[in-house]
Copies of this chain bind each other. A is one copy, B any other.
Amino acid sequence: MADQEQPTAAAGPAGEAADEKKSKNAEKKAKKEAEKAAKKAAAKERELAERKKKEDADAADVSADSYGELPLVGSKDFKPTGTQRSNLADIASNEDKEITFRCWVENARVQSAKLAFLNLRQGLNTVQAVVAASEKLSKQMVKFSGSVSTESTLVVTGLVKRVKEEIKSATIKEFEIHITKLFVEVKAEVPLPLQVEDAERPLPSAGLGDEDEKQADDGRPLVGLNTRLDNRTIDLRAKINHAIFIIKSGVCALFQEFLSKRGFTLIHTPKIQGAAGEGGANVFELKYFDRSAYLAQSPQFYKQMLIASRFQKVMEIGPVFRAENSNTARHLTEFVGLDLEMEFQENYHEVMSVLEELMLFIFKELDTRYRAETELVRSAYHVEPFKLPESGKVPRINFAEGIAMLREAGEELGDYDDLTTPQEKHLGKLVLEKYGSDFYTLDQFPLAVRPAYTMPSPTNPNLSNSYDMFMRGQEICSGAQRIHDAALLAKMMREHDPPINPDADGTRDYVNCFRYGCPPHAGGGFGLERIVQFCECCVVDFLLLIQNC
């Protein structure tokens, strides 16, 4: 053994004393060194033993059952735990309680070996969560939690604790979660093709293709339309897009609620039609087995035919197809139409009143029932609040008066000219100035610019009993009294520019349905995307639909 020294055999008889002394010194030295080495070795041994002990302790991991990756849900036959899952919206009622909830990771970061922070999201709510090492929570769990990939879906258990200082980075500002368990339910791949954070930024109204990608003032990338549409499921995770979808859902619900109370029957009219109605322009054609068919451009003919069938009031929410190759923010080849048609008793203004009250109801209830969503969208788009008249009475302006207002403001146009888009916007501003309303109705349009089935005006044969409704100077609804007499309808079709043959397939059945006592009626059609777009002033047309073509 290295520690046991052996006498050396190098010493001779001459100079033995000196040699002996030397030898003794050497012996001492060797002994000392041996002792030193022994101490060192012992220390090393202890260190190794301690390290081993520590490693054994680490391998045990007090948190081993409190974190990790779950098997694919549904792929294992496990009994549900039955644990109540919480909604983050109710967090205030759970102060100092432990809750379990599903959420996803906005971001996760390891602050130190003992501390990790996560931003967690559920619906439109985000919350800050802390994973802190302790006797009961291992550093391994801290490390695991802080390293979860962004957008992974988690099931988290933790204590709801009030914080002293408001949390700026989350929508929930007064509470944070002290995590006790954290399981990854579905891991998100890295890297993400698009950061949800970047999708929160509204798209410039001009569109912005990928070739135009730029940086915003804060240095973050401005993600273009193509990237967004190519990764639409991630783009749609942005809170602003959730809010737009919820508002869209809300407009439909409010439309139905208001009209149901007034006795409207919800209908679903065919979208595949045997003949192209309403003149046949801008219609998509499809193969219907061994013949051609067409996609409905509007439910116009059908909803009128149901009025002829004595349904006194009908409404429909459904897709409308327009083969218009117009790539503007005002056109879509497919949009959601909110349509209604009703008989009236004496004057079509009865129907205009229903339409106006309907829209006022929708505006009002969006601002109350969907306040969080509308505020979120409006703040992102920096929008002026939508102004409604203080009287509660929607301005109803005759087309002739509108023309006069525009002329007074310098526009040049004829008595029976249709308004251009810039003129509509101009008139919107003039009406806002004069009547204090972003919403108004323009009545008695020129007959020539309306469909052939529009009832001519009794006061002037060049005008018609028709109307448009405008929001912020843009049309959201077009409607009219319809001709309910077959002979007059056929005559007006023939005289229309371009003429329509009342005996052609696709119009004959329509004209004939007015031979047997159809009551007087009027109606209108709204574009859902336009209502949301002009009300919230956001770029809805581009973003509402998942790219389909």
Q: Is the CB of B268 within 8 A of A528?
A: yes
Q: Is the CB of B284 within 8 A of A188?
A: no
Q: Is the CB of B233 within 8 A of A308?
A: yes
| Complex Cα spacing A481 to B545, Å | 25
User: Using Cβ atoms and an 8 Å threshold, which residues of chain B touch A78?
Assistant: 346, 458
Binds B, one of A243-251, A399-407, A408-416: A243-251
Q: Is the CB of B271 within 8 A of A319?
A: yes
Q: Is the CB of A284 within 8 A of B284?
A: no
Q: Is the CB of A456 within 8 A of B75?
A: yes
Q: Is the CB of B325 within 8 A of A289?
A: yes
| Complex Cα spacing A513 to B274, Å | 37
Q: Is the CB of B520 within 8 A of A74?
A: yes
| Complex Cα spacing A151 to B139, Å | 84
Task: Give 10 new A-B contacts, CB below 8 A, not counting A75-B455, A75-B458.
Answer: A74-B458, A75-B488, A81-B346, A85-B345, A153-B518, A185-B520, A236-B311, A253-B266, A286-B286, A318-B318
Q: Is the CB of B334 within 8 A of A545?
A: no
**CB of A218 closer than 8 Å to a CB of B:** no
Task: From B121, B311, B455, B516, give the contact of A245 (CB < 8 A).
Answer: B311
**CB of A381 closer than 8 Å to a CB of B:** no
If A72-B488, A517-B104 touch, does A272 touch B185 (CB 8 Å cutoff)? Answer: no
| Complex Cα spacing A105 to B287, Å | 43
Within 8 A of B (CB), among A189-214: 189, 192
Quote the shortest CB–CB distance from A275 to chain B (angstroms). 9
Q: Is the CB of A242 within 8 A of B528?
A: no
| Complex Cα spacing A123 to B264, Å | 12
| Complex Cα spacing A345 to B102, Å | 8
A232-259 vs B: 1/0 string, CB under 8 Å? 1110110001100110110011001000
| Complex Cα spacing A417 to B323, Å | 45
If A249-B267, A333-B272 touch, does A305 touch B233 (CB 8 Å cutoff)? Answer: yes
**CB of A67 closer than 8 Å to a CB of B:** no
Q: Is the CB of B260 within 8 A of A248?
A: no
**CB of A449 closer than 8 Å to a CB of B:** no
Give the size category of A's interface with B.
Answer: 35 or more
Task: From B248, B286, B516, give the contact of A295 (CB < 8 A).
Answer: B286
A344-358 vs B: 1/0 string, CB under 8 Å? 011110000000000
If A185-B519, A233-B305 touch, does A285 touch B286 (CB 8 Å cutoff)? Answer: yes
Quote the shortest CB–CB distance from A265 to chain B (angstroms). 5
Q: Is the CB of A309 within 8 A of B272?
A: no
**CB of A465 closer than 8 Å to a CB of B:** yes
Within 8 A of B (CB), among A523-549: 528, 545-549
Q: Output the nearest chain B residue to A100 by Cβ-Cβ distance.
A: B345
Task: From B242, B256, B516, give the contact of A233 (CB < 8 A).
Answer: B516
| Complex Cα spacing A484 to B74, Å | 10
| Complex Cα spacing A458 to B241, Å | 36
Q: Is the CB of B151 within 8 A of A517?
A: yes
Quote the shortest CB–CB distance from A106 to chain B (angstroms). 11
**CB of A321 closer than 8 Å to a CB of B:** yes
How many copies of this chain are found per oligomer?
Answer: 2
| Complex Cα spacing A488 to B481, Å | 57
User: Using Cβ atoms and an 8 Å threshold, which residues of chain B touch A518?
Assistant: 153, 186, 233
Quote the shortest CB–CB distance from A479 to chain B (angstroms). 14
User: Using Cβ atoms and an 8 Å threshold, which residues of chain B touch A547?
Assistant: 274
Task: From B102, B232, B252, give the contact of A266 (CB < 8 A).
Answer: B252
A317-344 vs B: 1/0 string, CB under 8 Å? 1110101010000000110100000010
Q: Is the CB of A265 within 8 A of B285?
A: no
If A286-B287, A546-B305 touch, does A188 touch B458 (CB 8 Å cutoff)? Answer: no
User: Using Cβ atoms and an 8 Å threshold, which residues of chain B touch A121?
Assistant: 310
Task: From B81, B291, B319, B484, give the contact of A319 (CB < 8 A).
Answer: B319
**CB of A269 closer than 8 Å to a CB of B:** yes
Q: Is the CB of A189 within 8 A of B516?
A: yes
If A253-B260, A516-B189 touch, does A273 touch B549 (CB 8 Å cutoff)? Answer: yes
Q: Is the CB of A249 within 8 A of B266?
A: yes
**CB of A485 closer than 8 Å to a CB of B:** yes
User: Using Cβ atoms and an 8 Å threshold, which residues of chain B touch A309?
Assistant: 232-234, 236-237, 241
Quote the shortest CB–CB distance from A24 to chain B (angstroms). 77
Q: Is the CB of B306 within 8 A of A236?
A: yes
**CB of A515 closer than 8 Å to a CB of B:** yes
**What are 30 A-B pairs with beta-carbon distances under 8 A?**
A72-B484, A72-B485, A73-B520, A74-B348, A74-B455, A75-B455, A102-B343, A188-B516, A189-B515, A189-B516, A232-B305, A233-B309, A234-B516, A236-B306, A236-B309, A236-B310, A236-B311, A242-B311, A245-B306, A245-B311, A248-B266, A249-B266, A268-B528, A269-B546, A271-B271, A271-B334, A274-B548, A284-B286, A286-B286, A293-B548
